Structure 1
Amino acid sequence: MVFVFGAEVLLLAVLYILSRGKYDSFIAAVDRERYPFYALMPIALLLLDKFKHDYNTQYDRKLMIKIIEISGIKYSQFYIRVHWANKIVLLMLSLLFISFIALFVEMDTGFIIFSIALILTVAYLSDNELKEKIKKRRLAIQMDFPDFLNKLILLIDAGMTVTRAWEKAVEDNKKGGVLYSELETVLAEIKSGKSEYQAYEDFSKRCRTPEVTRFMSALIQNLRKGNSDIVSVLRLQSNECWMMRKNAAKRLGEEASTKLIFPMMLILIAILIIVATPALLAMQGI
């Protein structure tokens, strides 16, 4: 195993030398807090380029859908390369760690199972991170959307156009958040020349929540056919959104309660040990 470990270290050193300086502009744009092993990413990028990975497999397409939802289509190509590079770096470090541990322990069945489990866990967690981000993002949108919709209804009912009401609601917001960042993006796209219809479509695709999808359908129908009763339609949707928000808050509370069960069980076991130990020692005459 000394030879294997040495070979891995040598290979990484050679790849690092070959990749050094080739991807400086790319690495400069990487979030260093989010990706602590950014300095090793050129190695992974070099391997991806050498093997001519085209990011067009079924797995890549699924990744791209998630990345577009999180970061938008404009930077999706950059972030899919970052995701791949980070995943490869983590797997390489996992293999190096396994080889290092193998220098001091016996290569038995338990160690092999541990090694396989570690590699599979690292591969899974790097992808699961995207899933968790999407989950948190959608929840944040779901919690803020009813407030925005109420503001929009009041402004449209007061005589504003949908676009002006949208702009006013965004201007008056002070707390920020995922939803309002996306709402600002829609306004910026419309001001830059994109049609309202296309801007709304893209907004719906980025958010991917039932509330936003129904809201966008109503607005797009209003653009296409005209609908003098748009306020009534939005009021009905607002009531539904508030109910969905209440259900989401209820689910969060239930999940929080479930997460507390395990720590409480550990505390209970610790208390039982503290209480029972003196009694057991007394029974044994110690």
Structure 2
Amino acid sequence: MQFINLLIGTILMLIFAIQLLFKTDYDSLVEDLPSDIYPMKSIYKVGFIWSRISFLSLHGDTKDLLIGQAKLLYDPRYSEYYASVIWSQILSFVHFFIGLGFLLAGALNLAFLLVVGIIFAGVTGYYFFQRMGAELKTRHEHCVEELPEVVSTFALLINSGMVLNEAWSKVAMSKEGVIYDLMRQACVDIDNGISEIDAFYRFGIMSNSPEIKKFTSLLIQSMEKGGKDLSDFLSAQSVEMWGEKKQYMLQKGEAAATKLLIPITIIFAGILGLVVSAAVGILL
């Protein structure tokens, strides 16, 4: 068994090294990726090579999921590219850790190292697979928390007589934050010739937030009616948003308290077990 593990590990790591060392067209696909988001990006070409094999290619529901997430995080025109980068990233790290696990298990005659390698492969693969989803979830949470203040400021500016586009731009430039970044992107879209309605609609989609989608949908309806009731609409939305934020923060606090209760319960059970064990020892 030791020899088989060593042989498989050697073959896998040799294949990895050969794929890594030879110059391919895939090198140019990863060189401009930010290293903080895509660590060890130079090895991703290994995954790109593996993805050319039909059963290892990105397809089906997995492809649809990754492309859908990439459309929300990046320019939709490049969503398929980013989805393929994530998939290649996963394949590269899975190959590396499984190969390393086999090699170390064979070289040191320690079978558990193969299990460790497989676990590392699974953990890293899962981490990279869910990264975009986690980023979208974080974006949604930030947007929900920031939305009431945005709507309130927006309402004040509109009520003071400022036109819609100018008020939107002023709010977008007023602070740093996820929702403000998305608002600034909407400003860029408008400057590039996209209509206000389309830019605001895309803003709602990119936020990945049902609350913002609802707000932008109602805002667009008001604009299509001529914007006569825009001031009243924004004032009403401001009051509603603050109420929803209060409920959201209460739910978030309850969820955090529930998560905290689990380790406290485990610690209490451990202490109780020690006390009972000591008491039983004394009685015996």
Which residue of 35, 60, 76 corresponds with 2:63? 60
Residue of structure 2 equivalent to 1:244:
244
1:154 aligns with 2:160: no
Residue of structure 1 equivalent to 2:9:
5
Specify whether residues 242 and 225 from structure 1 end up closer, same or farther in structure 2 by C-alpha distance, changes over 3 A only: same
The aligned runs of 1:258-277 (5 Å cut-off) are: 258-276=258-276
Residue of structure 2 equivalent to 1:218:
218
Residue of structure 2 equivalent to 1:192:
192
The aligned runs of 1:9-48 (5 Å cut-off) are: 9-18=13-22, 20=23, 22-48=25-51
Q: Deviation per CA, 1:206-255, whole angstroms, max 9, x where unpaired?
A: 11322222222233223333131112122222233222212221222122
Give the unaligned 5+ runs of structure 2: none
RMSD: 3.0
The aligned runs of 1:118-129 (5 Å cut-off) are: 122-129=124-131
Partner of 2:35, secondary structure, is coil
How many pairs were matched up?
277
1:201 counterpart letter in structure 2: Y
Partner of 2:173, secondary structure, is helix
Q: CA deviation at 1:168?
A: 1.5
Residue of structure 2 equivalent to 1:82:
85
Specify whether residues 205 and 14 from structure 1 end up closer, same or farther in structure 2 by C-alpha distance, changes over 3 A only: same
Structure-2 separation of matches of 1:75 and 1:199: 19
Q: Deviation per CA, 1:21-70, whole angstroms, max 9, x where unpaired?
A: 64444333223233333231121123335769986644212211111212
Structure-2 separation of matches of 1:40 and 1:226: 54
Q: Deviation per CA, 1:95-119, whole angstroms, max 9, x where unpaired?
A: 2244246433459xxx88x887776
TM-score by length of 2: 0.84
Structure-2 separation of matches of 1:272 and 1:53: 50
Give the unaligned 5+ runs of structure 1: none
Which residue of 72, 78, 86 corresponds with 1:69? 72
Structure-2 separation of matches of 1:79 and 1:274: 52
Partner of 1:232, secondary structure, is helix
Specify whether residues 52 and 164 from structure 1 end up closer, same or farther in structure 2 by C-alpha distance, changes over 3 A only: farther
